[in-house]
Structure 1
Protein backbone atom coordinates (compact mmCIF):
# COMPACT_ATOMS: atom_id res chain seq x y z
CA UNK A 1 0.00 0.00 0.00
CA UNK A 2 1.34 3.45 -0.89
CA UNK A 3 1.89 6.25 1.56
CA UNK A 4 -1.10 8.42 2.40
CA UNK A 5 -0.74 12.17 2.68
CA UNK A 6 -3.42 14.09 4.49
CA UNK A 7 -3.86 17.86 4.40
CA UNK A 8 -4.99 18.15 7.99
CA UNK A 9 -6.37 20.73 10.39
CA UNK A 10 -6.19 19.28 13.92
CA UNK A 11 -8.96 21.63 15.08
CA UNK A 12 -11.45 20.15 12.58
CA UNK A 13 -13.46 17.12 13.72
CA UNK A 14 -13.88 15.80 10.14
CA UNK A 15 -10.14 16.07 9.60
CA UNK A 16 -9.42 14.22 12.87
CA UNK A 17 -11.92 11.50 11.90
CA UNK A 18 -10.29 11.02 8.49
CA UNK A 19 -6.85 10.82 10.11
CA UNK A 20 -8.19 8.17 12.51
CA UNK A 21 -9.45 6.11 9.57
CA UNK A 22 -6.02 6.29 7.93
CA UNK A 23 -4.36 5.22 11.19
CA UNK A 24 -6.89 2.43 11.84
CA UNK A 25 -6.06 1.00 8.41
CA UNK A 26 -2.36 0.88 9.31
CA UNK A 27 -1.33 3.19 6.48
CA UNK A 28 2.04 4.86 6.32
CA UNK A 29 1.14 8.54 6.47
CA UNK A 30 2.43 12.05 6.08
CA UNK A 31 0.47 14.78 7.81
CA UNK A 32 0.55 18.22 6.23
CA UNK A 33 -0.80 20.90 8.55
CA UNK A 34 -1.69 23.10 5.61
CA UNK A 35 -2.61 26.10 7.79
CA UNK A 36 1.01 26.16 9.04
CA UNK A 37 2.75 24.82 5.91
CA UNK A 38 0.87 26.81 3.28
CA UNK A 39 0.70 24.94 -0.03
CA UNK A 40 2.18 26.61 -3.09
CA UNK A 41 0.15 27.52 -6.14
CA UNK A 42 1.66 24.53 -7.98
CA UNK A 43 0.78 22.17 -5.12
CA UNK A 44 -2.82 23.38 -5.14
CA UNK A 45 -3.03 23.01 -8.93
CA UNK A 46 -1.66 19.48 -8.63
CA UNK A 47 -4.24 18.56 -5.98
CA UNK A 48 -7.04 20.10 -8.07
CA UNK A 49 -5.94 17.89 -10.96
CA UNK A 50 -5.93 14.79 -8.73
CA UNK A 51 -9.36 15.68 -7.35
CA UNK A 52 -10.76 16.49 -10.78
CA UNK A 53 -12.58 19.55 -9.43
CA UNK A 54 -12.59 23.30 -9.94
CA UNK A 55 -10.87 25.63 -7.49
CA UNK A 56 -14.22 26.69 -6.06
CA UNK A 57 -15.14 23.05 -5.33
CA UNK A 58 -11.99 22.84 -3.18
CA UNK A 59 -12.90 25.99 -1.24
CA UNK A 60 -14.67 26.53 2.03
CA UNK A 61 -17.29 28.94 0.71
CA UNK A 62 -18.86 29.55 4.12
CA UNK A 63 -15.68 31.01 5.63
CA UNK A 64 -15.82 34.71 6.51
CA UNK A 65 -12.70 35.36 4.43
CA UNK A 66 -14.50 33.99 1.35
CA UNK A 67 -17.21 36.62 1.82
CA UNK A 68 -14.70 39.36 2.74
CA UNK A 69 -12.75 38.74 -0.47
CA UNK A 70 -16.01 38.72 -2.44
CA UNK A 71 -15.11 35.46 -4.18
CA UNK A 72 -18.72 34.45 -4.86
CA UNK A 73 -18.72 36.04 -8.31
CA UNK A 74 -15.05 35.35 -9.14
CA UNK A 75 -14.79 32.92 -12.06
CA UNK A 76 -11.06 33.16 -12.75
CA UNK A 77 -9.48 29.89 -11.55
CA UNK A 78 -6.06 31.54 -11.11
CA UNK A 79 -7.52 34.19 -8.81
CA UNK A 80 -9.35 31.56 -6.76
CA UNK A 81 -6.14 29.53 -6.43
CA UNK A 82 -4.22 32.68 -5.46
CA UNK A 83 -6.84 33.32 -2.77
CA UNK A 84 -6.26 29.82 -1.33
CA UNK A 85 -2.48 30.34 -1.32
CA UNK A 86 -2.88 33.67 0.46
CA UNK A 87 -5.61 32.33 2.79
CA UNK A 88 -5.16 28.59 3.35
CA UNK A 89 -8.21 28.64 5.64
CA UNK A 90 -10.20 28.66 2.37
CA UNK A 91 -8.98 25.16 1.49
CA UNK A 92 -11.57 22.46 2.15
CA UNK A 93 -10.41 19.80 4.55
CA UNK A 94 -9.32 17.17 4.93
CA UNK A 95 -7.75 16.21 1.62
CA UNK A 96 -6.42 12.67 1.49
CA UNK A 97 -3.86 11.83 -1.21
CA UNK A 98 -2.44 8.53 -2.39
CA UNK A 99 -0.19 8.29 -5.44
CA UNK A 100 -1.93 10.35 -8.13
CA UNK A 101 -5.41 10.32 -6.60
CA UNK A 102 -7.01 12.52 -3.98
CA UNK A 103 -10.36 12.93 -2.25
CA UNK A 104 -11.88 15.60 -0.09
CA UNK A 105 -12.80 13.40 2.86
CA UNK A 106 -16.18 14.93 3.67
CA UNK A 107 -17.65 12.81 5.02
CA UNK A 108 -14.45 11.28 6.48
CA UNK A 109 -15.42 7.84 5.15
CA UNK A 110 -14.58 9.09 1.63
CA UNK A 111 -10.93 8.52 2.64
CA UNK A 112 -11.65 4.77 2.50
CA UNK A 113 -11.78 5.05 -1.32
CA UNK A 114 -7.98 5.45 -1.27
CA UNK A 115 -7.20 3.06 1.57
CA UNK A 116 -8.14 -0.23 -0.10
Structure 2
Protein backbone atom coordinates (compact mmCIF):
# COMPACT_ATOMS: atom_id res chain seq x y z
CA UNK A 1 0.00 0.00 0.00
CA UNK A 2 1.25 3.45 -0.89
CA UNK A 3 1.75 6.08 1.77
CA UNK A 4 1.45 9.76 0.94
CA UNK A 5 3.11 12.37 3.13
CA UNK A 6 0.52 15.06 2.55
CA UNK A 7 0.05 18.70 3.44
CA UNK A 8 -3.61 19.56 2.75
CA UNK A 9 -2.75 23.26 2.37
CA UNK A 10 -0.38 22.58 -0.55
CA UNK A 11 -1.76 22.61 -4.10
CA UNK A 12 0.90 20.19 -5.40
CA UNK A 13 0.12 17.83 -2.54
CA UNK A 14 -3.61 17.97 -3.30
CA UNK A 15 -2.92 17.33 -7.00
CA UNK A 16 -0.80 14.30 -6.13
CA UNK A 17 -3.51 12.96 -3.84
CA UNK A 18 -6.12 13.39 -6.60
CA UNK A 19 -3.87 11.57 -9.09
CA UNK A 20 -3.25 8.64 -6.74
CA UNK A 21 -6.97 8.46 -5.93
CA UNK A 22 -7.79 8.27 -9.66
CA UNK A 23 -5.17 5.55 -10.14
CA UNK A 24 -7.21 3.24 -7.89
CA UNK A 25 -4.10 2.39 -5.86
CA UNK A 26 -4.62 1.70 -2.19
CA UNK A 27 -2.99 4.38 -0.09
CA UNK A 28 -2.70 5.84 3.36
CA UNK A 29 -2.52 9.59 3.93
CA UNK A 30 -0.01 10.81 6.49
CA UNK A 31 -0.47 14.44 7.48
CA UNK A 32 3.15 15.05 8.45
CA UNK A 33 2.36 18.60 9.55
CA UNK A 34 0.05 17.36 12.32
CA UNK A 35 2.18 14.28 13.07
CA UNK A 36 5.79 15.33 12.39
CA UNK A 37 8.37 12.72 11.49
CA UNK A 38 11.29 12.18 13.83
CA UNK A 39 14.86 12.74 12.69
CA UNK A 40 15.26 8.95 12.58
CA UNK A 41 12.12 8.59 10.41
CA UNK A 42 13.42 11.32 8.11
CA UNK A 43 16.78 9.57 7.79
CA UNK A 44 15.00 6.37 6.72
CA UNK A 45 12.86 8.35 4.29
CA UNK A 46 15.95 9.93 2.73
CA UNK A 47 17.34 6.45 2.04
CA UNK A 48 14.13 5.57 0.19
CA UNK A 49 14.31 8.84 -1.76
CA UNK A 50 18.04 8.50 -2.38
CA UNK A 51 18.51 12.14 -1.37
CA UNK A 52 20.74 14.10 0.96
CA UNK A 53 19.01 15.97 3.81
CA UNK A 54 19.49 19.39 2.21
CA UNK A 55 17.72 18.14 -0.94
CA UNK A 56 14.54 17.59 1.10
CA UNK A 57 14.46 21.17 2.40
CA UNK A 58 12.12 23.81 1.02
CA UNK A 59 14.81 26.47 1.10
CA UNK A 60 12.51 29.38 0.22
CA UNK A 61 10.41 28.96 3.37
CA UNK A 62 10.79 31.88 5.76
CA UNK A 63 11.61 29.54 8.67
CA UNK A 64 14.61 28.24 6.72
CA UNK A 65 15.75 31.69 5.59
CA UNK A 66 15.44 33.24 9.06
CA UNK A 67 16.94 30.39 11.07
CA UNK A 68 19.17 28.20 8.93
CA UNK A 69 20.21 29.76 5.62
CA UNK A 70 23.91 30.49 5.33
CA UNK A 71 24.83 28.51 8.44
CA UNK A 72 27.23 25.61 8.44
CA UNK A 73 24.87 22.70 9.12
CA UNK A 74 25.58 19.00 9.39
CA UNK A 75 23.18 16.43 7.97
CA UNK A 76 22.06 15.79 11.54
CA UNK A 77 21.36 19.51 12.06
CA UNK A 78 19.24 19.55 8.91
CA UNK A 79 17.31 16.43 9.96
CA UNK A 80 16.61 18.01 13.35
CA UNK A 81 15.41 21.21 11.64
CA UNK A 82 13.06 19.18 9.41
CA UNK A 83 11.73 17.27 12.42
CA UNK A 84 11.19 20.52 14.35
CA UNK A 85 9.66 22.39 11.39
CA UNK A 86 7.88 19.87 9.13
CA UNK A 87 6.71 22.71 6.86
CA UNK A 88 10.29 22.70 5.54
CA UNK A 89 9.90 19.22 4.00
CA UNK A 90 9.41 19.02 0.23
CA UNK A 91 5.98 17.69 -0.55
CA UNK A 92 4.18 15.55 -1.32
CA UNK A 93 6.16 12.36 -0.86
CA UNK A 94 4.83 9.04 -2.08
CA UNK A 95 6.26 5.93 -0.44
CA UNK A 96 6.01 2.41 -1.81
CA UNK A 97 7.80 -0.04 0.47
CA UNK A 98 11.53 0.65 0.31
CA UNK A 99 11.32 3.36 -2.36
CA UNK A 100 9.86 6.85 -2.43
CA UNK A 101 9.55 9.89 -4.65
CA UNK A 102 8.63 13.52 -4.30
CA UNK A 103 5.29 13.67 -6.10
CA UNK A 104 5.34 17.25 -7.39
CA UNK A 105 5.70 16.14 -11.03
CA UNK A 106 2.69 14.05 -12.07
CA UNK A 107 4.56 12.50 -15.03
CA UNK A 108 7.31 11.34 -12.70
CA UNK A 109 4.65 10.06 -10.30
CA UNK A 110 3.01 8.06 -13.12
CA UNK A 111 6.30 6.26 -13.70
CA UNK A 112 6.71 5.66 -9.98
CA UNK A 113 3.35 4.01 -9.36
Say which of 28, 37, 40 aligns to 1:39.
37
CA 1:41–1:70 in 2, change beyond 3 Å: closer, same or farther?
closer
Q: Which runs of 5+ in 2 are unaligned?
A: none
CA 1:45–1:26 in 2, change beyond 3 Å: closer, same or farther?
same
Q: Which runs of 5+ in 1 are unaligned?
A: none
- Give a deviation string over 1:49-107, Cα, whole Å, max 9, x none: 01111111101000000011123333410000000001001101000100111001122
Check the 8 A contact 1:6/1:31 in 2, yes or no.
Answer: yes
- Give a deviation string over 1:12-63, Cα, whole Å, max 9, x none: 1100111111111101111000000101111100110011111111010000
TM-score by length of 2: 0.94
TM-score by length of 1: 0.91
CA RMSD in angstroms, aligned pairs only = 1.2
SS at match of 1:61: coil
